[in-house]
A and B are shown apart, each in its own frame.
Chain A
Amino acid sequence: MSDALRQSLDLSVFWEYRAVLLHGLAVNFYVFAASAVVALGIGLGAALLRVSRLAPVRWIGTVHVEIFRNAPEYIMVVWVHFVLPLLLSLLLARRLEFDPFVSSVIALGFVYSGYFAETFRAGIEAIPRAHIEAGRACGMPERLILWRIVLPQVVRRMLPESLNQFISLFKATTIVSLIAVPDLMYQVTMVTQQEMRPLPLYTGAALVYFTVIFAAGTLLRALSERWRSKIYA
């Protein structure tokens, strides 16, 4: 027992491979950043569909949100990586393959767009109608109303909620190791197979992820509190 504990906490193997592992962690951040952009863009689109005046358009938004909010990330990543290229190949009549990185960004982006759409929608619906009507009364075009009146308020309102979703998204990026994106978890598995020492490597990985996510979460929450209190007053 004490021997196993000492082994788990003996992180020298982890330190030995620091270059590879750090690079892996960077890949986690790349996947995170790219899928966050995709998720925010599609999420905003879906939210706008859901508050549309036309019922069929609203249904499309609702179906989008319900599918992606209820889909497990892992099956979506696998589906996008193995099924989507085949379907597109059939459709375009030429052979197509996705880079694992592309697949994971598409999959995670779409899954999280469902969550972000709901957050955006709640933010949009919380805006007093009078603000939008005032914009119209001044003769602002709809797009300008969206960018100048609606979105600035939505962003401030949804900040605390979306922080949690960003953190979930970052945690979900570990899944991409399963389709061989060389992220930290993937590298840890590779090094484990080489060194045959799972104890320190997996413990180290858990500690690294914990440190990064806990620190980022605490810091971002504090920052967003400050930012909100400054601007709202």
Chain B
Amino acid sequence: MSNWHRLVWNQRDALLAGLGVTIEVCAIAFAFAVVGGLVLCLLRMYVKPLRPVAITLIEFFRATPILVQLLWVNYVWPSLFGFPDSFFAAAWLALALQSSGYLAETFRGGIEAVPRGHREAAYSVGLSPFATFWRVTAPQVALAAAPSIVNQFTVIVKSSTLVSVITVQDLMYQSQKIVNIWYEPIEILTATAAIYIVVIFAVSIAGKALADSLRSRYGIAAA
């Protein structure tokens, strides 16, 4: 028990700081992933000339392992595009790119599931295409896709353990640092794994509850 106290409880500041960085990276990545996914999806569906580009990007982001993408963004992008300029930026950018590919496909599925008649009805009462999208299509897509979107957030949290590889000081990084100081991995790695499992479990429960309440409030039965 004293080992737990020394290796885990006494290190709580470092672990909490790491958890903070993890949450920060994930939140930024998620925000950019939603925006990026929406842009990719709209380009793919409505902008004919850019369609092949959008499809290539979506498929590339989806079919590349996150570790490979992380190292690629971290080592290659700065010379190619002059960005990202820090490990932190590389971390959230890589996570965001990967998820934007998945979210683009989720959004596309949602948009295609909206009955044609809804759009035609909107046009026939004189809504502009833009208003039709934001007032008729988008809310339905958001409701239908809510569970997948939440699920994507848990995927981001899981993948975020890898940002420690490029020395972003997240929870994983801090715990490995503690391991390297004391050479006693049992307690600290077990605690770290437990923290991750609990956090991800909580996120997915909360997300599912949120999605269900949104759906029941706005009239689609919970799946």
Contact = CB atoms under 8 A, between A and B. Distances in A.
Contact of A72 (B63, B189, B200): B200
Contacts of A76: 193
Interface string B108-129: 0000000000000000000000
Given A70-B197, A74-B162, A185-B67, A83 B72 contact: no
A69 to B, nearest CB: 9
A189 B166 CA distance: 12
B80 A8 contact: yes
A209 interface: yes
A175 interface: yes
B200 A210 contact: no
Interface in B60-79: 60, 63-69, 71-72, 75-76, 79
Interface residues of A, number: 41
Contact of B158 (A72, A78, A87, A177): A72
A174 B67 contact: yes
A70 B196 CA distance: 8
B148 interface: no
Chain A at the B interface: mostly helix, strand, loop or mixed? helix
A185 B66 CA distance: 12
B204 A175 contact: no
B24 interface: no
B75 A198 contact: yes
A145 interface: no
Contacts of B204: 70
A70 B193 contact: no
A202 B72 contact: yes
A19 interface: no
Interface in B161-179: 161-162, 165, 172, 176, 179
Given A70-B204, A82-B189, A86-B186, A209 B172 contact: no
B60 A75 contact: no
B185 interface: yes
Contacts of A70: 154, 196-197, 200-201, 204
Contact of B75 (A66, A74, A171, A199): A199
B65 A171 contact: yes
Interface string A44-77: 0000000000000000000000110011111110
B189 A203 contact: no
A29 interface: no
Given A75-B161, A75-B193, A83-B189, A175 B67 contact: yes
B114 to A, nearest CB: 23
Interface of A: 1, 4-5, 7-8, 66-67, 70-76, 78-79, 82-83, 86-87, 171-175, 177-178, 185, 189, 192, 198-199, 202-203, 205-206, 209-210, 213-214, 217
Given A4-B80, A199-B76, 8 more contacts: A72-B161, A82-B185, A83-B186, A177-B67, A202-B71, A203-B76, A210-B64, A213-B65
Give the top 5 A-B pairs by smallest Cβ distance, nearest first.
Answer: A171-B65, A4-B79, A198-B75, A72-B158, A74-B161
